[in-house]
Amino acid sequence: MSAGCSDTLRTMDVSDAGADADADADRRIDEPRAPSGEGGGAPPLACYSPENASGYDPAKNVVAAQPGACTAEAVAEGLRACTGVTANVDGCDAFKASNLRCAGCLGFGIFNKDDAGKAILPAVLPRENGIYPNTEACVSVLLHNEATCGMAYVNEATCLISVCDTCTVDRAACEWRAADDACSGALVDLNGACGKAYLDGQAAQSACNATTASDTLAKVAAVLCERNVVFKKLALFASMIALFGLGAAAGCSDHANPGIEKVDAPAIPVPRDGGSDAPKMVVDPDGDPGPGCYLPDNAASFDAAKVVVAAQKGACTAAIVAEAKAACLGTSPSQAKCDAFKAANATCAGCLGIGAVNKDADGKSIIPALVPFGEMSVLPNSDACVAVALKNEATCGVAYVNETTCLLATCDTCASADLVNCANESADGACSAALVDPNSACGKAYAAGQAAADAACRGTSFDDTFAKVAAVLCE
């Protein structure tokens, strides 16, 4: 199967993908192989078409989120124009003409390319009899293993669907047959790292699937093309994030992780008190239940016994911060340039969070200007900055950081429209213990000093916010 223009999707209803389009898009690594029939072979199936087996070439294609490619409104418009009973060629062409990047991300136009020139597999993939939601790419993005497992997930599903495209009631039997035959080489090994990650990621699977094909496509599009935070690829830094106490609820994670991205700020769109600029997620434990993007298993926080919030004055100069940004966070970062920067500026690199973090006099790790977000992301540490600006970093800093860390970790896959509801569910569930009580000393201190602290620590983009946070924490 070749990547490129998917004009054949125009005017097709997503339900044309089959009698059970959502099930069609599900991976089958957890289903049994075909039972042996008479004479040791699987029973013949008229709909089994092994000659149709296909997959995407990993040398030419890639699985990746394209945050900001679409708004929720543009996704809805694209689905109306290009799929379903309201679809028509003229309407879909008009949508693509005015929404080129979104159309490419959704799969209704020329696929978008990454920085290496590879085609990014979109939210909708073509099949002989229609289209199907790319749930496998969605799941891999939520599992933060799209770089290592995304293509394998997609290719297993693509192969099974392509050889069983015309099946109806015999679809499961056909896929069992394909798993032992035409698609045996495309199966994801259950005992391998990708297979285990997928089977352990039940919450991610739920976040990418719904009871109807149209709802599934909307979920997939939200993860692959919208996202509530903007990710930008960085270089692969083996030592980018050192061990400094960030752990999931069930244990600790060393975050010795190669693939790093940066997350646009501000990440929290709605404040606790109804204003527009507070750095805390709106938290209403009695609010609406959260959407399917709520991932309680991702809840994480810093261990207050091992970390501290503190300014590291003089660790960097403004010029050195700019150098760090160009080498490690800019539009053309590289492993070599970032390694060179860290070697020449170890203290500044530790303060910024692009090297081994610095320690205080008691041996605690000082939470830096960039903090880990999920498995492959970083974001500016506005909450630590706010605490320093309010001069309550010793008593409130870790609490401020942990509230945001937990809420974002459980809701980082949500579209903007779902973020508040997800925060409500998380606040009443996985992150309830991490909330800062607005009636506590820390909560009152923030409310009293909000305007000045936010002006010092929050900008309108990742670069703007990072510069402000670095100035307060490291310069």
Name the pTM for this structure. Answer: 0.53
User: Residues 234-237: contacts with CB within 8 Å, 24+ apart?
Assistant: 234/260, 234/261, 234/262, 234/328, 234/329, 234/333, 234/378, 235/260, 235/328, 235/333, 235/334, 235/335, 235/337, 235/338, 236/260, 236/335, 237/328, 237/335, 237/338, 237/339, 237/354
Strand partners of residue 380: 370
Q: Is residue 2 part of a domain?
A: no
Instruction: Give yes or no: residues 442 and 401 share one domain.
Output: yes
Total structural domains in the chain? Answer: 2
The backbone torsions φ and ψ at residue 58, rounded to the nearest 5 degrees and listed phi first, read -65, -20
Instruction: Give yes or no: residues 235 and 172 share one domain.
Output: no
Q: Is residue 123 part of a domain?
A: yes
CA distance 301 to 30: 32
Pairing of strands 307-308, 119-120: unpaired
Q: What is the reported pLDDT for 270?
A: 24
Instruction: Give yes or no: residues 180 and 303 share one domain.
Output: no
Instruction: Give yes or no: residues 351 and 371 share one domain.
Output: yes
Per-residue pLDDT tens digits of the chain, which is 475 residues long: 323 333 322 223 333 332 233 333 333 333 333 333 333 344 467 889 999 999 999 999 999 988 778 887 888 899 888 887 778 889 999 999 999 999 999 999 889 998 889 999 999 988 776 788 999 999 998 887 888 999 999 999 999 989 998 888 888 889 999 999 999 999 999 899 999 888 877 667 777 888 888 888 888 998 898 753 322 222 222 222 222 333 322 222 222 222 233 443 323 222 222 222 322 223 333 334 445 678 888 788 888 899 999 999 999 999 999 999 888 876 666 778 888 999 999 999 999 998 889 999 999 999 999 986 544 557 889 999 999 999 999 999 999 999 888 887 887 767 656 777 787 788 888 888 888 988 899 999 998 998 888 899 988 777 888 999 999 999 9
Q: Is residue 42 part of a domain?
A: yes
Q: What is the reported pLDDT for 321?
A: 95
The residue from 175, 204, 226 where one domain ends is 226
Instruction: Give yes or no: residues 250 and 199 share one domain.
Output: no
The CA dihedral of 435, 439, 444, 448, to the nearest 10 degrees, is 110
Q: Is residue 118 part of a domain?
A: yes
Instruction: Give yes or no: residues 204 and 297 share one domain.
Output: no
Asked if 398 and 302 count as a contact pair (C-beta separation under 8 A), the reply is yes
Q: What is the reported pLDDT for 272?
A: 26
Q: What is the reported pLDDT for 11?
A: 29
In one-letter notation, the amino acid at residue 28 is: R
Q: Is residue 400 part of a domain?
A: yes
Cβ-based neighbour number of residue 41 at 10 Å? 12
Q: What is the reported pLDDT for 373?
A: 59
The residue from 197, 226, 255 where one domain ends is 226
CA distances in angstroms from 203 to 82, 197, 291, 297, 372, listed in the order given: 29, 11, 12, 8, 21
85 CB contacts (<8 Å, ≥6 apart)?
A: 13
The backbone torsions φ and ψ at residue 335, rounded to the nearest 5 degrees and listed phi first, read -60, -45
| Domain enclosing residue 180, as ranges | 7-226
Q: What is the reported pLDDT for 157?
A: 92
Instruction: Give yes or no: residues 217 and 265 share one domain.
Output: no
Asked if 146 and 65 count as a contact pair (C-beta separation under 8 A), the reply is yes
C-alpha triplet 393, 454, 402: angle, nearest 5°: 45
Q: What is the reported pLDDT for 282?
A: 32
Instruction: Give yes or no: residues 168 and 270 share one domain.
Output: no
Exposure of 174 in the CB half-sphere (CA atoms within 13 A):
23
CA 10 to chain centre: 28
Q: Is residue 1 part of a domain?
A: no
The residue from 199, 226, 253 where one domain ends is 226
Instruction: Give yes or no: residues 188 and 263 share one domain.
Output: no
Instruction: Give yes or no: residues 335 and 452 share one domain.
Output: yes
Q: What is the reported pLDDT for 44?
A: 61
Q: What is the reported pLDDT for 441?
A: 95
